[in-house]
A and B are shown apart, each in its own frame.
Chain A
Amino acid sequence: MKLPSPKRPARSDIDMVPMINFAFLLLIFFMLAGTLVPAQKMPIDPPRSAQATPADPSGNVLLVAEDGRVGFAGELLLESELPARIAQWRKEHPQEPLRVKADAAVDATRVIQLLQSLRAAGIEHVSLLAARGAP
């Protein structure tokens, strides 16, 4: 008896080219439309503001997390270390306004109390960072 030879699986004839084209389009879109941000030590969900002027959120930024923890330029700091650190930064950048990235849910008095403690370090004007758009 002659057994039928097992059928070879059909060659996959799915045309990959349109899918690749589309995926390249997406890749280029995501590369150009987004900005890469370094990983943060603490998650900060910024407040929204309609009146904010465009600003750069990276670099030497004072961070205030929702639970009140503070950081500067990406590293966590104790509150007692902060004035010395800010004073040193102020010496290197005498003109630049201090940028403050604080969580939308943090107590406003906490932020103001921190900033008032930095007046001795020469901080009188700050830029509060916010996401632009109506809240």
Chain B
Amino acid sequence: MRIARPTRRKNSIVITSLVDVMFVLLFFFMLASSYLDWGAVDVNIGGGESRSALPVPGHVHQLQLLPGAQLRLDGKTVVLSQLASTLERDARVIVQPQAGVPLQDMISVIDQLKAAGVSLTLGRATP
């Protein structure tokens, strides 16, 4: 008796279309995804139209931001890296950028103030 040898089945599934679809998906996800790690910087807004009439206890520092990354704390020029050591902890600071200061500079200053643990409010420098 002869036993038939099992015939090897030819691989008949066409993978080309599968690969095509997969590449489309790959390009879609490569181009459509965003890898930015978003975060939030919480700030208070001061001034404006409906000014709350609560008197602020303690001394409030005014930190003016001038164009060209210059800082003026209560009228005296300070350097960004020494800002944290100049201020006492629990100090209150009003950050007042002048016209021409990009938002990135203000965020960098706010970063330093937050690291120093002071509470801050945003305002605008009165010309």
Contacts and interface: CB of A to CB of B under 8 A. Distances in A.
Interface of A: 16, 20, 23-24, 26-27, 30-31, 33-37, 46-57, 97, 99, 102-109, 111-113, 115-120, 123-133, 135
B103 A108 contact: yes
Nearest to B41: A128
- Secondary structure class of chain B's binding surface, majority of residues: mixed
A47 B104 contact: yes
A108 B110 contact: no
A125 B43 CA distance: 6
Contacts of B68: none
B65 A108 contact: yes
Contacts of A133: 37
A123 B49 CA distance: 12
A27 B40 contact: no
A57 B40 CA distance: 9
Contacts of B114: 51
B15 interface: yes
Given A130-B39, A132-B39, A112 B107 contact: no
The 4 A-B residue pairs with the shortest CB-CB distance in the complex, in nearest-first order: A34-B33, A52-B39, A116-B48, A55-B40
